[in-house]
Amino acid sequence: MAVGPGVRVTEAVGVLLAAGAGTRMGRPKALVTDPDGTPWLHVGVHALLDGGCDRVVVVLGAAAERARALLPRRDGVTVVVAEDWAAGPGASLVAGLAAVTGSATACVSLVDLPGLPATAVRRVLGDGGRPRTLRRAVFGDRPGHPVLVGSAHRASLVDAVAADPGDRRAGAWLRRAGVAQVDCTDLWDGTDRDRPTASGLSTDGRRGAS
């Protein structure tokens, strides 16, 4: 079948990493909500789906059962639990990529990006359907998320990260592999949130100060 330019030919699977304990935040980030009560899990899932992903895999770990209750009720949202999440951030990435099979492209994002707009996901996704796709959002000279990983690259990235899940090897691997940079500076600042803010963050979906 002929496929025109910009038309995706394979499935795009959002992978939302939300497994960590959130030591600097003081709680697992999968439990954090904005001051208006919106769970960060909702923001991340909606951004990926509204940005063009066909479905989303949410990777949980710390407080997984409590976090599961905060997931939005939307079609195409599934959960995997990284049982070894405490080994480091690479463990949740490996678990998430393992849930993306066949020719699908993985669109990886983080739960601690509550400012992530769907427009940034859409821009990084592009046609999103080529096996050798390898793209990431950048903000000036600073790399960020989402990161798009085509099927031809998944196994190599998993091998690199699994070698030491406590280390941040994914960024180094992406640079070596020649990841294409997609400037998203005009859409938002790309900042992740590692600490509570003065405006107050709550857990378990309840509003209130941190």
Rounded alpha-carbon distances, angstroms, from residue 190 to 8, 116, 172: 25, 7, 19
Token pair recorded at residue 205: 């979906």
Are residues 12 and 107 in contact, defined by beta-carbon separation less than 8 angstroms?
Answer: yes
What's the one-letter identity of residue 131? P
Is the confidence at residue 205, as pLDDT, over 50? no
**What is the mean pLDDT of the segment spanning 174-191?**
96
- What pLDDT sits at residue 155? 96
**What is the mean pLDDT of the segment spanning 178-191?**
96
Is the confidence at residue 3, as pLDDT, over 90? no
3-state secondary structure of 84: coil
Between residues 176 and 199, which one has the greater pLDDT? Answer: 176
3-state secondary structure of 155: helix
Q: Give the model's confidence band at 7: pLDDT under 50 very low, under 70 low, under 90 confident, else very high.
A: low
Nearest CA to 82 out of 66, 101, 63, 104 is that of 63
Are residues 58 and 79 in contact, defined by beta-carbon separation less than 8 angstroms?
Answer: yes
- CA distance linking residue 185 with residue 172, whole number of Å: 22
Task: Give the mean pLDDT of the chain.
Answer: 88
Is the confidence at residue 34, as pLDDT, over 80? yes
Q: Which residues contact 117 (CB under 8 A, 6 or more apart)?
A: 47, 51, 187, 188
**Least confident span in 26-35, 44-53, 65-74, 164-173:** 164-173
- What pLDDT sits at residue 17? 97
Provide the whole-model pTM.
0.89
**What is the mean pLDDT of the segment spanning 48-57?**
97
**What is the mean pLDDT of the segment spanning 185-196?**
88
**What is the mean pLDDT of the segment spanning 55-79?**
96
